[in-house]
């Protein structure tokens, strides 16, 4: 349910004739005494006024009830009206498919219950339990039913609704007409008895609906990670991250949904918090550009070794705008994940939790963001400072027992879910996300001393920077920041040690090979090799200046390429000259050389004055320089260092 503005009727719909308030998203009527309970249980994140019990009561009394044109029906003291059988379906009330009695307005979801109703209320002779009816099947069962029910069937498939789903006595189901977009094969009350084709179609629809629900449940179970399923496989990455234990029993798609970026239309409060992260990172980047943190401070923030006197290079902060935009999404998702999981009405409950300080900071951030979203306050600086304090409190939280007690460590596990493939990221693809998380964390830490120096709390920003660095940013600390550093270091070692064979997978038929994200089929690869061979043969024909009536097999001498040797110890000559000057190759390529020279001499495109072969080819086989009218077409453009001269 999405609330576009502060109008209470955007969340509820009033049925004026029945004086019943219907929840648009839950599709159920609400009794007056259940309004506050329903809001707190199901719609706590829509308005900041729903956060506490007292604020929800005040909102209902001061905003919701005065905006209604009439008093709501109280089912405790008033009778719930029952609409006629030919009534249209009420808007925003859930429409169910069931069976309606043809002798009275009774309706039921189950077929056996409506049979019992007819047998108890309308049958002239009540059927006993067991006997021939219970043991009959097929045509015998239909004949016994016809003898008992008569020509008119006792019930028909129908649509029905209910004003109040639970917690209200006297709320009964009532039949309604088929909605505008009714299910194929469903029969409304005015159509009479079901024909054989309609009855079969209705049964098929019920079967397909059941199969769809079973498939959905099966796919839902497949998305839930289970550590027991991977005991036969050794994955050092998953053993180190412990993600399977943290996400056990939780569907991956639903867990990843808790860490998605908020939108202004659906979650305006969380969206304002994400804008505060944008402003914080931009302000920190501007502070570094203006050198509010000097060179030595920028060097200290990049060193993660404790008590280190010689620091590493300064922080690299001059990144592209697109890179910063991608990096900021990591912390936007982190704060959105923490806000969503801190809601006690959240169905998915993880192991982490907020301490008292973090809870107070989060409440203040939500309050300021709500004021900003409702435009009751235009001050952004207080929201930014409070958001910065919350981020630093999350980073410096000490980890004493279970590592997933930290909300940031839990978010790092959820960030490892690949939503496109419904699986977990491998180490090479996950380490860039950790680098983004660490980079933005460093900028946030640098911004805090700058704010303290501007407010006059400290004189030198390096003093609080050193204190924060020693407290939670070095490798000997047990904090979420240190956990991110260890994971990134371990992931880089896996990435560097993984060979190409570790990424290659063959299909069962042996015709497809996959290398990381590249998929190659063997028939296509064979055609590629054939095309390269044909291209080389065409280049060879061009080099030997073959005519249309000449054959390559007759002109070009045969040579075995794998027998050609190079001298790697001779580094003074180029590769081409080294091949020609190697004594072992002279016997093999003499014939090729003489054939090529003879073809050049007999061709009209050669200037003989520029052919300068050596005086004794047998004694000293050196390359000659030949002048051509145009560069050879079979050579790449970057190899044409001269426009007219080619070295052979």
* 286-321 burial code (b ≥16 CB/10 A, e <16): ebbeeebbeeebbebbebbeeeeeeeeebbebeeee
Contacts 24+ apart (CB under 8 A), 188-195: 188/158, 188/159, 189/85, 189/86, 189/100, 189/156, 189/158, 190/86, 193/152, 193/153, 193/156, 194/153, 194/156, 194/157
DSSP state of 628: B
pLDDT of amino acid 104: 83
Model-level pTM?
0.50
Cβ atoms 300, 466 nearer than 8 A: yes
C-beta separation of 364 from 273 below 8 A: no
Between CA 243 and CA 255 the distance in angstroms is 12
Quote the CA–CA distance of 579 and 248 in Å, as a whole number: 63
DSSP at 78:
S
Task: Quote the pLDDT of residue 466.
Answer: 86
The pLDDT of residue 308: 65
Q: How many CB atoms lie within 10 A of CB 77?
A: 6
Q: Which residues pair with 23 in a beta bridge?
A: 12, 28
Residue 14, classed as helix, strand or coil, is strand
Reduced to 3 DSSP states, what percent helix, strand and coil does the chain have, rounded to the nearest 5? 50, 10, 40
Q: Give residue 276's pLDDT.
A: 93
DSSP letter (8 states) at residue 63: I
| Angle, CA of 602, 607 and 610, to the nearest 5° | 115
Q: Contact at 8 Å (CB) between 348 and 341?
A: yes
Angle at 97 between CA 95 and CA 102, to 5 degrees: 115
| DSSP H stretches of helix in 30-159 | 35-42, 53-59, 111-121, 131-135, 139-149
Task: Answer whether 187's CB lies under 8 Å from 198's CB.
Answer: yes
What is the Cα–Cα distance from 320 to 222, expressed in whole angstroms?
Answer: 40
Instruction: Report the alpha-carbon distance of residue 619 to residue 598 in Å, rounded.
Output: 19
The candidate with the shortest Cα–Cα distance to 413, out of 348, 344, 493, 334, is 334
Q: What is the pLDDT of residue 484?
A: 93
Measured CA to CA, the distance from residue 407 to residue 361 in angstroms comes to 14
375 phi-psi bin (left φ>0, alpha ψ -120 to 50, beta other): left
pLDDT, averaged per 10 consecutive residues of the chain (648 residues), comes to 48 85 84 82 69 79 83 82 81 84 82 78 58 48 58 76 72 76 40 47 67 63 51 74 87 89 89 93 91 86 74 80 91 93 82 87 90 78 92 91 91 91 88 93 92 89 87 89 92 78 75 80 87 85 78 75 70 61 70 74 52 44 40 37 34
Task: Give alpha helix (H) positions in 177-291.
Answer: 196-222, 236-241, 243-246, 252-257, 268-289
3-state SS class at 6: coil
What is the C-alpha separation between 21 and 585, in angstroms, rounded?
95
Task: Report how far residue 17's alpha carbon sits from residue 435's, in angstroms, rounded to the nearest whole number.
Answer: 60
Radius of gyration of the chain (CA): 39
Residue 438's pLDDT is 93
Residue 107's H or E segment, with its range, is strand 107-108
Alpha-carbon distances of 346 from 252, 356, 483, rounded to whole Å:
16, 19, 27
Residue corresponding to tokens 């001061």: 62
Distance from C-alpha of 69 to C-alpha of 596, rounded to nearest angstrom:
102
Residue 51: φ, ψ to 5°: -65, -40
């Amino acid at each position: 349910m999405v609330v576009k503005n502060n109008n209470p009727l955007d969340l509820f719909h009033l049925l004026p004739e029945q004086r019943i308030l219907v929840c648009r998203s839950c599709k159920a009527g609400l009794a007056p005494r259940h309004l506050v309970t329903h809001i707190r249980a199901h719609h706590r994140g829509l308005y900041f006024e729903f956060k506490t019990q007292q604020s929800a009561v005040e909102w209902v009394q001061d905003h919701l009830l005065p905006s209604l044109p009439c008093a709501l029906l109280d089912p405790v003291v008033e009778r719930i009206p029952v609409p006629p059988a030919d009534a249209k379906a009420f808007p925003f009330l859930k429409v169910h498919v069931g069976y309606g009695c043809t002798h009275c307005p009774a309706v039921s979801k189950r077929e056996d219950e409506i049979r019992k109703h007819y047998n108890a209320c309308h049958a002239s002779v009540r059927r006993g339990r067991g006997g021939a009816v219970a043991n009959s099947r097929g045509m015998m069962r239909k004949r016994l039913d016809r003898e008992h029910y008569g020509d008119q069937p006792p019930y028909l498939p129908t649509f029905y609704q209910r004003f109040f789903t639970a917690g209200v006595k006297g709320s009964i189901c009532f039949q309604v007409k088929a909605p505008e977009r009714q299910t194929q094969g469903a029969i409304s009350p005015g159509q009479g008895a079901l024909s054989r084709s309609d009855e079969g179609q209705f049964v098929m629809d019920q079967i397909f609906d059941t199969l769809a629900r079973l498939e959905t449940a099966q796919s839902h179970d497949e998305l839930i990670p289970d550590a027991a399923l991977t005991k036969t496989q050794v994955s050092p990455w998953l053993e180190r991250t412990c993600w399977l234990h943290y996400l056990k029993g939780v569907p991956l798609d639903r867990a990843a949904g808790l860490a998605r970026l908020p939108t202004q239309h659906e979650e305006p409060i969380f969206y304002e918090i994400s804008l505060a992260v944008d402003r914080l990172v931009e302000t920190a980047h501007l502070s570094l550009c203006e050198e509010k943190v000097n060179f030595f401070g920028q060097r200290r923030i990049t060193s993660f070794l404790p008590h280190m006197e010689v620091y590493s290079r300064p922080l690299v902060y001059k990144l592209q705008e697109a890179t910063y935009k991608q990096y900021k999404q990591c912390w936007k998702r982190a704060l959105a994940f923490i806000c969503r999981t801190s809601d006690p009405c959240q169905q998915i409950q993880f192991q982490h939790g907020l301490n008292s300080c973090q809870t107070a900071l989060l409440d203040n951030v939500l309050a300021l963001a709500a004021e900003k979203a409702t435009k009751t306050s235009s001050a952004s600086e207080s929201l930014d400072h409070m958001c910065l304090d919350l981020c630093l409190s999350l980073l410096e939280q000490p980890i004493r027992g279970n590592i997933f007690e930290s909300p940031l460590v839990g978010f790092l596990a959820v960030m490892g879910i690949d939503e496109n493939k419904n699986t977990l990221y491998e180490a090479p693809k996950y380490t860039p996300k950790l680098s983004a998380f660490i980079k933005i964390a460093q900028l946030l830490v640098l911004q805090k001393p700058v704010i303290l120096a501007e407010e006059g709390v400290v004189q030198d920003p390096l003093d609080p920077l050193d204190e924060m660095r020693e407290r939670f940013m070095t490798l000997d600390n047990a904090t979420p920041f240190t956990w991110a550093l260890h994971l990134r270091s371990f992931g880089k070692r896996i990435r560097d040690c993984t060979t190409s064979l570790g990424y290659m997978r063959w299909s069962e038929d042996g015709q497809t090979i996959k290398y990381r994200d590249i998929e190659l089929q063997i028939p296509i690869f064979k055609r590629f090799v054939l095309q390269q061979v044909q291209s080389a043969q065409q280049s060879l024909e061009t080099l030997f200046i073959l005519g249309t009536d000449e054959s390559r097999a007759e002109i070009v001498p045969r040579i075995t390429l794998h027998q050609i040797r190079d001298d790697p110890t001779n580094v003074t000559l180029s590769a081409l000259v080294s091949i020609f000057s190697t004594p072992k190759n002279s016997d093999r390529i003499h014939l090729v050389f003489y054939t090529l020279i003879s073809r050049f001499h007999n061709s009209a495109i050669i200037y003989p004055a520029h052919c300068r072969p050596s005086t004794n080819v047998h004694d000293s086989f050196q390359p000659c320089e030949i002048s051509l009218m145009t560069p050879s077409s079979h050579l790449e453009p970057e190899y044409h260092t001269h426009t007219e001269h080619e070295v052979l």
